[in-house]
Every structure is written in C-alpha cells, then in structure tokens.
Chains A and B, each alone.
Chain A
Amino acid sequence: MKFLARFAQNRGALIGLIILVAIILMAILAPLVFPESPWRMVQRPFLPPLEQDGFPLGTDTMGRNVASGLMHGAWVSLLIGLVSTTVALAIGVPLGAIAGYYGGLIDDALMRFTEFFQTIPNFALAIVLVAIMQPSVTSIVLAIALVSWPPVARLVRAEFMSLRHREYVEAARLVGQGDLTIILRQILPNTLSPIIVLASLMVATAILLESALSFLGLGDPNVMSWGYMIGAARTVIRQAWWLSFFPGVAILLTVLSLNLVGEGLDDALNPKLARERQ
C-alpha cells in the first residue's frame, strides 16, 4: 500500500499511468472494435478525419481505416517494446551480475565485450542487424534487444559491486550458500528497483526504435505499426496531414507516459532519494 501511495504522490506518474492503461486497453480492444484487418481497403482513399461515420481519423492512401491501424498498431508497438526489453534484460542482467559479483578478469572480459557494443551507435547497429536478418517482427525484436542490453549490464554490475561485500552477503556465504544462490536470492532482489525503472524507460526507447526502423522501411511488412503508418504517409504529408499526425501523437503519448511512469516508479522504489529531491 505504501508503494502505491508513494507512486500516487507523483502526479505526473499518475497521469502517465492513466495514458498507458488507455493505450494498453486500445491494444487489447483493437480486435473487438475493428475485427477486420487494418490492411483492408474499406473506403475511398484520402478521406479526411471526422467526415464519415466509422472513420473518425479518416483513411490513408489506399482507403484503409486510420483508426483501425492506430489501434492494431498499439498492439504491435507495445509487444515489440515489451518483448525486446525482456530479451535485453535476459542478456544484460546475467552478464552484469556475473561481472559485478566475481570482478577481476571475468569482469574485465565481460565489460570489454559490453563496451564493444556500446561503441557502435545504437540505431546504426539496429539498422544493420535488421537489414541482414530481413525485416520481420522477430528480427526487429532481436535487433532492438541486442543494441539495448549494455546499459542494463553496466547498471546491474554497479549494483552488484556495491552489494557483494555487504554483511548479509558475507553472512550468507558463511552459512555455506553457493555463488548462484547468493546471486539469485541475496543480491538480485536488492537490485530490482533500479532495474525496473530502467526497464520502463527501455520499453519507451524500444518503441521509438521500432518506429524509426519502420519509418525507414525496415519494419515487418506484414504488421501494421505506428512507424510504418508514418513512413508510408510521409510521401503524402502535403496532401494528407492526418496520416502521419495521429500515429505520431500516439507514439509521443506512449513514450511520454512510459517515461512518467518510470519516474514515478523511481520515486516509489527509492523513497529516500525522492525525499532528498523534494
């Protein structure tokens, strides 16, 4: 309860959460509100918003319903954001934990490996990876995960380094617990709060990355995503502003809400820091 109360104290976080829930609802309700595929050409092309019932956001270059695309796109964007973040955590957390816990040569080796990824600009690497693997949801998720795990690894490593000599860890070792148990059951739970905060921000970055890739034409050609909608509408922006405007606003709101929620989580999980800030 305390956690929720602390979270609610941050008004921004609350607003963020409301927006986020709305977007999640949009994603879940998409198949119910628009049972037809968003790719279906249902009306005359370039229908402006609010001109016809059932097409509140108008239609695109081929007469596809923009509102339908937006709702189905929410699903794709959130899915890619969540899955790629999970994959990134699955790579980053173990690497960081091992490096931070053992230190020494192992740490050196793992950190040099991490730095290797960090020296290549994220987006450039993602483009190369998607181009090599052929654009598909799987390759995009993998590419985003592969470019976004290094910060996780570094964060987890730092946490582990500061925690590994704490008394409770020494105590656990004295009782005879093995390394794996100590890592998983003693230290990791204590590093969770910064990881959760970081993860919420990573979801936002992943959504942006996916949109940017789709915008460049490197999206999965089989799924309707927001980035694709903007990318396809870019060439007709002078004839039909609404085609890029609405998905753009959707991306903006999603990323903003995730950032706000992330900050709220940070406050709620680190009450001391939050109080200092005030």
Chain B
Amino acid sequence: MKTPLALAITAAAMTATSAVAQEPQYGGVIDTVIQPEPPGLVLGMIQNAPTRTVAGNIYEGLMRYTTDLEPIPQLATEWEVSDDGLTWTFHLREDVTWHDGETFNAEDVVFSADVFHRDLNPSARAVLQHIESIEAIDDYTVEFTLTEPFGPFPLSFEAGTFTMVPEHIYAGTDFRNNEANNHPIGTGAFKFDEWDRGTVIKLVKNEDYYEEGLPYLDGINWHIIPDGASRAIAYENGTVDVLPYGTVENFDIPRLTEMDNTCVTEEGHEYFSPFAMLWMNNREGPTADKRFRQAVMYAMDREFARDVLWNGLGKVPLGAFGSNAKFQNDDLEPYDHDPEKARELLDEMGYDGEEVRLLPLPYGETWTRWAEAVQQNLREVGIEVTTEATDVGGWNQRLGEWDFDLAFTYLYQYGDPALGISRTYLSSNIEKGSPWNNVEGYENEKVDELFNEAATAYPEEEREALYHEVQEILQEDVPVGWLLELGFPTVYRCDVKNLVTSGVGVNDSFKDTWLDR
C-alpha cells in the first residue's frame, strides 16, 4: 500500500524524468543545405539570401526579434530612449569576444554602423540617413542620436542590417579586398571553420560563446548541392536534416512532408516577409514608359505562378506593400490578369516590338520556370522578350551595372516600410554597384518626400496616411513589378529541436537548436 510520501516521491521522480526528456542535449553536428552557394560570407558586404542564412550564425546584431517582431537583447543587454525619441543609449554585454579572441566593445559598434555599413550596406544606409551621430560614451555604452524620431529604428538592429563587424580587422582597410573576408570573424555562437568551394561550408561551435551553456550543437555543415532533386534525395536518405526555405523545389515538398519524423514550419520569415519582384529598368527602353510597365502587370498571370510554381504558397500582392508589412493600403486598384488591357496599353504607347531582356533569378528550378512563365505571358500580349541566363555573380553584376530590362529578384521587407520598402523607390538610393538598392532607377520627388516624411512622422496614424498616399502613386507608376509574397516552408526532422526561434527563422543563429537523438 502506497503512503502519501511514496506517492509524492513517485510524482517527483516522474517530473524529474520528464524534465530530463525536455532538457536540451549537447553534441551533434547538424547537416543542412544552402542554395545557391553564397558569393561570400561577410554579412552587410554581401546581401544575397544564402549569405544571410549561413552568416547569421557567425555574426550578430545588437538585438534579435521574436516572431511578433518584438526586440530582444543580443549584444546589447538593454537600451533606453530619451523622451523626445531622439537619443537611444545601448548598454553592451561586457563578456563578448570576437572569434579571434579580441574583446568586443563600443568602438566596434560605432565602426560597424558608422563606417562599414555606411559604405557597403544599402539597407543600413536607409536607417543611417536619419542618424545624426553615433558615439561611444564609454567602452560598453553607445549612443545613437537621431535627427528626428524614426519609427522603425528599433527594428533595424537585426544581424543583416547592422551586423557587428570587428573594427580591429577592418578599420582603415579596403573592406571588399580584406583578407579576413575569406575567414569571417564575428561574435556568434558558431565560428567559421572551412569552406570547401562547391561542397560544404563548415561552422564549428564557439567554445567561448558568452551565453551560458550555448550553443548545444558541435557544428553546422552547410552542404552545397547544386541540383534540386539531389537536395530532396539528400534529405530522404538522411544526409541532411534540415531543408531551409527555398532549398527544395516546391513540387517536392508534399512528398517530403509525408515522410516519418518530418516537420514543416512556415514560421520564421515574419521579419523578412520575402517579396518577389520584377525589376523594370525605368531609365531606358520600352520599360521606361509607365504604360509598358502597367501592361507587364496586367499581362502576368501571378495566380498561376503561385498555384503551379509555388504549390499555392504565398500571396499575390496588391501593390508595393506586402500584407505582412505595416500600413498596407487596401483600397488600391488591383492589377488582375488581363491580357486584353495589357495589349490596349501597349497600343496606346505605340510599342514597336522592341526587344526586352529578361534576367531570371539563378536560384533554382522554380525561378527558372517562373521566368519562362512570365516570358510566355508577356509574349502573349505581344512583348518581345529574350531571356538571358546568368549565374549568381553575373546576376549581381548585371543588376549593379543596370544592364537589364526586366529582372527577377526577391527582397526582404524587414517589418517596416521605412526599412524594407522605401529603399526600392527612393531616388537617394540610386547608386551603381549594388543589386539591392533602387536598381530600377525610379525617380519621383513626391514619392521621395512622402517616404521621408512617413519614416519620421508621429504618431502611427500620421505615418499611415502618408504611406497610403505613396502607395497610390506607386500603384499608378509601377516602378517595379510586384510578383508574389513568398511563402517559404522549412522542412526538418522533428527531432531537431528549437530550429526556428525567432522572426528571422533559419537566418538566425542555430544557437538554441539541439538534437533529440
């Protein structure tokens, strides 16, 4: 007969066992894939999606973001804002070292934000234009002074925007040709180990990581498998355990999710809300005519692309602002699939059949097929399109040099129009050399004015009114084509725990991830 005491002990023992089962386990190397092979790993210098995914483990920002886009501490332990919203003081962790052993301090923050990213990173520049000064108060305190209140400022510290890079390595050098670019040094939970080009990028556990007990994994292997079918097979035969979004072809996903021990999540891109767009060169050729660009919008069958190419995942956007972005204007006139209207517009502008060049995004089969579908849509309304295939490097270069008529891309929206959306349309963001700024060359003073005003307007209702107005102008001008708000599922084995813990998904660090096996 059991006494109450024995019962209590049994109960305690049971709780203990289940607690043990919940306890994260140490060890193990996680195998995953990266597609395509990134051109480099220095975040901020290079903005291709695959770079962010891998380097998100090596580099860190001052803050991270939850799936609701609430900031949580990372390299900064806490921060305070002055009453007028102009002065932001960040208190940094004092126990952080770079992967090469140097101490991380306020100088690194000032250098990263004020020098490195000002020079290289268009998404940081969009924030920097609202900043008057960045100063180190002492070794572990940094003060950002804004020129005016800037709504999205607290959202701009994610690792891809203001990545912390080591001042002692980069200061005074030619950033793009610095030796260290081949061996990135960050503060993250994983260190760069080796990069066997075309095969694998290996990261190893940072034994000196400042967060107590983290990370759990011994390392991460990012396999480079250039063929979509082979990536799916690599998952099926157990070579890899995680397929980050965009790494398998969409038509493989239903088959993979039926496997045992397989989980899928669509969480983890709230912060990015990837938005597929069609660059249209506003400077020259037929695409310089607004009516031509409208015709392209009417000619494209975007629902077909979503249903057939993306397995029904994602949303056809109304206009320039995605549905995940704040301040979307729902009253805009939608661009439905209407070839007849497209032909009318082309007739009206007197399109003479001049050839336009289309650059597909070299990120895999789905994108290639998509370009074929758009090419066909356009041909059916009488637009002469030739597709010019390139590799990732060639694509970056062609866009940076403005050598295109139409080009596929997808951009992240970063939760706030002032971070992720205005950069595509502001004329101050036109600059050769980067495929991520105002590549299309759209210039509209009114739009500049509205965007700039909206970024700093207060309160939110004021911003909303301004953003609604700017969307109406953009809807009419169609500086770029709005293709699809991408739905990106991540496929992984269910025994990989804590894979997606924040609003940036697998682009965030794997520091909390552990293997239950």
Segment touching A, from B199-207, B365-373, B468-476: B365-373
Q: Which residue of the partner chain A has the closest CB to B226?
A: A217
Q: What is the chain A residue whose CB lies nearest that of B229?
A: A235
Task: Select from chain B the residue with minimum beta-carbon distance to A61.
Answer: B369
CB distance from B300 to the nearest CB of A (A): 12
Which among B227, B251, B379 has the greatest number of chain A C-beta atoms within 10 A? Answer: B251
Excluding A236-B249, A237-B229, 17 further A-B contacts by CB distance (< 8 Å) are A37-B379, A39-B376, A41-B304, A61-B251, A61-B308, A61-B369, A134-B388, A135-B389, A221-B360, A221-B372, A221-B387, A222-B387, A232-B365, A234-B229, A235-B228, A236-B229, A236-B251
Contact with B along A222-252 (1 / 0, CB 8 A): 1000000000101111110000000000000
Instruction: Determine whether A63 belongs to the interface, using a CB cutoff of 8 Å to chain B.
Output: yes
Residues of A within 8 A of B372 (CB): 39, 62, 221
Q: Is B375 an interface residue (CB 8 A)?
A: yes
Verify A235–B387 contact, CB threshold 8 A: no
Judge whether A41 and B388 touch: CB under 8 Å: no
0/1 interface trace, chain A 44-59, chain B, CB 8 Å (1 if under): 0100000000000000
Looking at chain A, what size class is its interface with the partner chain?
20 to 34
| Nearest-neighbor residue (CB-CB) of A60 within chain B | B369
Question: In the assembled complex, which residues on chain A have CB atoms less than 8 Å from the CB atom of B251?
Answer: 61, 236, 239
Complex interface: chain A residues within 8 A of B390 (CB): 134
A-B contact list, 19 entries, CB within 8 Å: A37-B379, A39-B379, A41-B373, A41-B376, A61-B369, A62-B308, A62-B372, A134-B390, A135-B389, A217-B368, A222-B386, A222-B387, A234-B227, A235-B227, A235-B365, A237-B229, A238-B229, A239-B251, A239-B255
**Interface 0/1 of B341-376, CB less than 8 Å to A:** 000000000000000000010000100110111011
Q: Which residue in A37, A45, A217 is a CB contact (below 8 Å) of B376?
A: A37
Chain B interface main SS type: helix
Determine if A40 is an interface residue (Cβ-Cβ < 8 Å): yes
CA distance A107 to B375 in the complex (A): 50
A237 to B251, CA, bound (A): 11
Q: Chain A residues near B389: list those with CB within 8 A.
A: 134-135, 217, 221
How many A-B pairs have beta carbons closer than 8 Å: the answer is 57
- Chain A proximity of B246: nearest CB distance (Å): 14
Closest B residue to A44 by beta carbon equals B308
| Count of chain B residues with a beta carbon within 8 Å of a chain A beta carbon | 26
User: Can you list the 5 inter-chain pairs with the closest CB atoms, starting with the nearest?
Assistant: A221-B387, A235-B229, A39-B376, A235-B228, A221-B389
Minimum CB–CB distance for A89 against chain B, Å: 29
Report the separation of the CA atoms of residues A238 and B373 in the bound assembly, to the nearest whole angstrom.
23
Within 8 A of B (CB), among A69-96: none
Chain A interface residues (CB < 8 Å from chain B): 37, 39-41, 45, 61-63, 134-135, 217, 221-222, 232, 234-239
- In angstroms, Cα B389 to Cα A61, docked, is 20
B388-A62 in contact (CB<8A): no
- Tell me the bound Cα distance from A192 to B375 in angstroms: 45
Q: Which residues of B contact A41 (CB under 8 A)?
A: 304, 308, 373, 376
Q: Is B264 an interface residue (CB 8 A)?
A: no
How far apart are B287's CB and chain A's nearest CB, in angstroms? 18
Q: B392 an interface residue at 8 Å Cβ cutoff?
A: no
Which B residues touch A134, using CB under 8 A?
A: 388-390
Instruction: Kindly report which residue of chain A lies nearest to residue B376, judged by CB atoms.
Output: A39
Residues of A within 8 A of B249 (CB): 235-236
Q: Which of A39, A62, A239 interacts with B309 by CB under 8 Å? A: A62
Specify which of A62, A221, A232 is in contact with B373 (CB 8 Å cutoff).
A62
With a cutoff of 8 Å between Cβ atoms, the chain B residues found around residue A236 in the complex are 229, 249, 251
Give the docked Cα–Cα distance between A239 and B228 (Å). Answer: 14
Give the distance in Å from the alpha carbon of A63 to the alpha carbon of B309 in the complex: 11
Closest CB of chain B to A80's CB: distance in Å?
A: 17
Tell which of A39, A221, A235 touches B388, judged by Cβ atoms closer than 8 Å: A221
Give the shortest distance, in Å, between A145 (CB) and chain B (any CB). Answer: 21
**Residues 233-272 (chain B) with a chain A CB within 8 angstroms:** 249, 251-252, 255
**How far is it, in angstroms, between the C-alpha of A45 and the C-alpha of B304 when the chains are bound?**
11
Shortest CB-to-CB span from A2 to chain B, Å, is 50
CB-defined contacts of A238 to chain B, threshold 8 Å: 229, 255
B379 contact set on A, CB distance < 8 A? 37, 39
Distance of A199 Cα from B228 Cα, bound (Å):
38
Q: Mark B368-403, 1 if CB is under 8 A from A, else 0.
A: 110111011001100000111110000000000000
Q: Which residues of the partner chain B approach A45 to less than 8 Å between Cβ atoms? A: 308
Bound together, the chains give a CA A189 to CA B368 distance in angstroms of 49
- Across-interface contacts of A62 in B (CB, < 8 A): 308-309, 369, 372-373
Residue of A nearest to B379 (CB): A37
Q: Which among A39, A61, A63, A237 is the interface contact of B375 at CB below 8 angstroms?
A: A39
Please indicate the chain B residues that have their CB under 8 angstroms from the CB of A221 in the complex.
360, 368, 371-372, 387-389
Q: In the bound complex, how far is the Cα of B388 from the Cα of A66, in angstroms?
A: 23
Determine the distance from Cα of A66 to Cα of B272 in the docked complex, in whole angstroms. Answer: 38
Set of chain A residues within 8 Å of B371, measured between Cβ atoms: 221
For the complex, what is the distance from the CA of A61 to the CA of B368, rounded to whole Å? 12
Q: Complex formed: what's the CA distance from A45 to B376 in Å?
A: 15
Bound CA–CA A236/B369 (angstroms): 13
- Return the chain B residue nearest A224 by Cβ: B372
Residue of A nearest to B360 (CB): A221
